[in-house]
Amino acid sequence: MPAKTAKIILLLGGARSGKSTRAQQMASSLGRRVLFCATAEALDADMKKRIKQHRRTRPQSWQTLEAPYCLSTALAPVVNDYDTVIIDCITLLVSNLMGKSRVSSKRVQRADKEINDLIDLMQGRKATYILVSNEVGMGIVPHFRMGRDYRDMLGKANQRLAAAADEVYLMVAGISTRIK
């Protein structure tokens, strides 16, 4: 019998559309052993406050792994200990990677590698993965080059993750619509 392939669920939507709340609801119903993988970095007072609020919404029995970079490397040694892994969020992961290089081509290479490594990890494990990411392709074209690069990198990452996912949902105003 072949090894079980990981189930991958991608939740896409705008800011404050209910993605994180929905991810937590799904995880609560899927398994006892949940790992919450946070990609945010507390770089200012507002982000520190948001992280603190996010922590309060999670059950205390869940474990947290903070991995703003090298996500698959951080997950690999522990992922088999969990039934469900939430990755919140791809949006910040790509943003973090952008900040590591001033050269556009290096940013793209770094993001591509990170997403490829994550897909490889998820496809080789038994846990259910719930990924949260912002849909940034429905807005205006950013005025500055870095904004356009970011939108393009995240859009491509979302496309690749959606292609690898078993289920994809679009979140709007707290309502999820299955699109795959």
Token digits of residue 18: 């209910």
Amino acid code (one letter) for 73: T
Query: Structural domain of residue 119, as residue ranges?
Result: 7-178
In a domain, 1, yes or no: no
Examine the residue annotation and report whether 54 is marked as an active-site residue of this protein.
yes
Q: What's the whole-model pTM score?
A: 0.90
Render pLDDT for 3-23 as a digit per residue (tens, 0 to 9): 444 699 999 999 889 999 999
Cβ distance 79 to 121 under 8 Å?
yes
| pLDDT band per the 50, 70, 90 thresholds, residue 91 | very high
Mean pLDDT computed over 118-123: 94
* Per-residue confidence (pLDDT) for residue 145, from 0 to 100: 83
117 has a pLDDT exceeding 90:
yes
Selecting among 14, 41, 42, 54, the annotated active-site residue is 54
Mean pLDDT along residues 119-128: 90
Q: In this model, does residue 1 exceed pLDDT 70?
A: no
pLDDT value, residue 3: 44
> Higher model confidence: residue 64 or residue 125?
64
Residue 118 has pLDDT above 70, yes or no: yes
For the domain that residue 136 is a member of, what is the CATH number?
3.40.50.300
Q: Is residue 2 part of a domain?
A: no
In a domain, 92, yes or no: yes
Within-domain flag for 164: yes
> Does the pLDDT of residue 149 top 90, yes or no?
no
CA distances from 10 to 86, 121, 132, 160 (A): 10, 15, 6, 11
pLDDT-based confidence at residue 103 (cuts at 50, 70, 90): low
When divided into structural domains, the chain yields a total of 1
C-alpha separations of 147 from 31, 95, 97, 158 in Å: 38, 10, 13, 16
pLDDT by residue (tens digit) across 44-87? Answer: 888 888 888 888 888 889 999 999 989 999 999 998 999 999 99
